[in-house]
Structure 1
Amino acid sequence: QTARCSISSPLMSMEAVSNSWSISDKALLSIELINNSVNSQDATIVQNIVERSHLCLNPDTYSSKASKVQGFSGSLVVYIMQEMEKSHAKAGRYKCPAEIPFFPETLLEPLIPTEYPSVLHMRYTSINLNKEIWEVYFGKMLPKLVKHGKDGHNGPSAVCDAKILQGLSKRIHYSMFLAEAKFRKSPDIYESAIKEQDPEKLRKLLKDPEDGDEFKRQKQFRTDVCQVLMNSGASMSSNPKLKPEMVVELFDEFVIPMAMEVQIQYLLFKAHDDNVASAHARETLQLKALSKRKQWLVKAGPPVAWTAKIVGVLVTCIVLVLRHKVLDMLMKKGVVSQETVIAALTMFLLTKEILEALKKGKEYMELIRFYVKFWERDK
């Protein structure tokens, strides 16, 4: 039976540091706190890597043909990942900016509303390296971590893979917070490269001497964590190819470059700040330029606007259908012709007024679309 490694208590205490959402926004963008959280995430990833290394590759885990999940056409690892993400989504995991699902189309709504501090640039949701993470892990990292062959543990292999992928995704996308913290600390340093949209210049700026020292400390930390886990877990004979140096090399070769790419992409979005602000100002002026009645329609919201339009259409249809029947009924009851004419004229004018309003439906629809855009931007 495969032994399961457990992380030592000093390392477990680091996990509490990563729970930084309970503190202020200013502390959330503390570079020291971010680096502590990165160390905690690295420790968790290394722990899962060591656990996965005790199992063989088990290629059937990644074959849709070999999958025995009833009613599911994909591979076992895809099924496990989707089910994990569904359950985690219920707890609000993916409301966190650094948590990005691999299969967002299968997620369920959180059972409890969850909110996180809004400290990142509004376009951070455009950054998603999960596809690259998936390909790099299964194509380049996993073959170096495990022995080839089968041991029958397809399920545990899929679970370990899913945990590693989730950890890598959070670790890499968490770099958005580091980029925001660096920018707020010294915005003048990055301003020129951002305006020029020069990724290579940003790459050089992000690799400052202080980061170099921190990188060395993090590298040594990962080495120590891996050594502790290996010594406290199963013997190395279960997988002699796994060594602390090799795990650290995988981080240096794949994880760190992708984390740097996230920082660069994030800072490049800063160039759009002025454009976004100008667009928002233009929309505000457009709203103020509308007549009071149209302003009310916009501010009332799409539900009210749609309700008014639907009621208008229904009333028009009813009037058109019943107009002749009402006139016939009035004549049968002996209503004088003059009154009949007055009634008919009244209904005609009412119908005409409604039809005129319906002709402006296109204008109202434009207002509704404008409101939705305005409301989403404000949100």
Structure 2
Amino acid sequence: MDFLSPDTVMDISNIRAALIRMEDTIVFNLIERAKFPRQPSSYETGGISIPNFDGSFVDWILREEEIVHAKVRRYQSPDEVPFFPDDLPEPILPAISYPPVLFPHPNNLNANDRIKAFYVNDIVPSICPDGEQKENLGSSSLCDVECLRSLSRRIHFGRFVAESKFRMERAQMTALIKAKDTAGLEAAITNSAVEKQVLARLKKKAETYGIDPNLMASASDKKVNADAVVAMYENWVIPLTKEVEVEYLLHRLDQQD
């Protein structure tokens, strides 16, 4: 996605292509995480003692990585939303002057707390066996960070979907926004046929990527629970993406004449 070319960014076909590629990243990240047990201590504040940090081990890794990535201007890109926005340093690389592609949201729309909650409480238990492996706490937590980051990017990409749909259906969207009709906005952005295609494609990907193609796969050979991956999208990723889209649209007319 070339954020220096706003017209290509707002092309709905380009957005859909980007979302499809993100599915691959998410599935592969979940396969890597599923190699390890749940590791509940890595998500608990104080579960692993960290000097001068009040949070979980996964939080600490996320924050430390974001500090480094911020220095190379990762979070200046319009498609990136950090988990710890208040802790980021200024980049050491020169700033890039991105043309505006999204309307500024007054609350810096950020769903990462909700993403982390459903990931820890629902997704990890559905793909990982119970238990702890102290020797693999670092490895599993690094997988968690990759999963969280890819889910965050996918869900927050709903802002681009919302902006594209607003531009295509400006009159209808404007009326719904002015009426603060959240149900109407959700209905307007929902395409049930596309959602069914996404879930079917995701199941096939999880089943295909999760086995050795040279082996006759049995249930024990599968590297990730494909049904759990589909349920994650159906119950969390798609609904939360819609929440992000609606939140974005509700403020789309702010400060406009």
TM-score between both structures, scaled by the size of structure 2: 0.89
Tell me whether 1:118 sits opposite 2:100 in the alignment: yes
Flag the 1:73–1:177 CA change in 2: closer, same or farther, 3 A. Answer: closer
Aligned Cα RMSD in Å? 2.2
Aligned residue for 2:64? 83
Distance 1:206 1:99 in 2: 22
Tell me the alpha carbon deviations over residues 172-224 of structure 1, each in whole angstroms, 9 at most, x when there is no partner. 111111111011112122122111011001111112xxx33322332222122
Q: Residue 250 in 1 paired to residue 232 in 2?
A: yes
Equivalences for residues 35-46 of structure 1 within 5 A: 35-46=16-27
Aligned to 2:157: 174
CA drift at 1:124? 6.3
Tell me: CA distance 1:38–1:95, structure 2 relative to 1, closer, same or farther (3 Å): same
Residue 198 (structure 2) pairs with residue 218 (structure 1): yes
Give, in whole Å, the separation in 2 of the partners of 1:178 and 1:124.
19
Superposed displacement of residue 238, structure 1 = 7.3
Q: Larger relative contact order (C-alpha < 8 A, sep ≥ 6)?
A: 2
Q: Distance in 2 between matches of 1:66 and 1:79?
A: 12
Q: 1:140, CA displacement in angstroms? A: 1.8
Of 168-177 and 133-142, deviating more is 133-142
- Map of 1:262 onto structure 2: 244
Q: Could you say if the C-alpha distance between residues 38 and 183 of structure 1 is closer, same or farther in structure 2, counting changes exceeding 3 Å?
A: same
Query: Partner of 1:7 in structure 2?
Result: none
Give the match's secondary structure for 1:126. coil
Distance 2:79 2:107 in 1: 10
SS in 2 for 1:21: coil
Task: Name the structure with the higher helix share.
Answer: 1
1:94–1:100: 8 Å Cα contact kept in structure 2? yes
**2:194 alignment partner AA:** E
The CA distance in 2 between the partners of 1:220 and 1:67, in whole Å, is 39
Any idea what SS the aligned residue of 2:98 has? coil
> 1:131-166 CA distances to partner (integer Å, 9 max, x unpaired)?
111111112222112111112311111111111111
Matches within 5 A, 1:310-325: none
Match of 1:52 in 2: 33
* Match in the other structure for 1:231: 211
Equivalent position amino acid for 1:32 in 2: S
Distance 1:225 1:117 in 2: 35
State which of 76, 87, 91 in structure 2 corresponds to 1:95: 76
1:222-241 per-residue CA deviation (whole Å, 9 max, x = no partner) reads 1222122211499863778x
Structure 1 residues 48 and 140, CA gap change in structure 2 (3 angstroms): same
Q: How many residues align?
A: 252
**Is 1:197 matched with 2:180?**
yes
User: In structure 2, what is the Cα distance between the partners aligned to 1:256 and 1:227?
Assistant: 20
Is 1:33 matched up with 2:25? no
Alpha-carbon distance, 1:104 to partner: 1.6
Counterpart among 100, 109, 116 of residue 127 in structure 1: 109
Higher radius of gyration, 1 or 2: 1
SS in 2 for 1:101: coil
Tell me what 2:169 maps to.
186
Could you list the runs of 5+ residues in structure 1 that have no partner in the other structure? 1-18, 278-379
C-alpha distance in 2 between matches for 1:93 and 1:204: 33
TM-score norm. by structure 1 comes to: 0.62
Contact 2:211 2:222 in 1 (8 A): no
Over 3 Å counting, the alpha-carbon distance change for 1:94 and 1:266 in structure 2 is same
Question: Are 2:58 and 1:74 aligned?
Answer: no
Q: Which ranges of structure 2 fall in alignment gaps of 5 or more residues?
A: none
For 2:8 and 2:146, locate their aligned partners in 1 and report how far apart those are by CA, in whole Å: 28
Q: Percent identity?
A: 29
Deviation at 1:117, TM superposition (A): 2.6
Give yes or no for contact 2:12–2:161 (8 Å, CA) kept in 1: yes
Contact 1:61 1:158 in 2 (8 A): yes
**Number of the residue aligned with 1:206:** 189
The alignment status of 1:104 with 2:80, answered yes or no, reads no
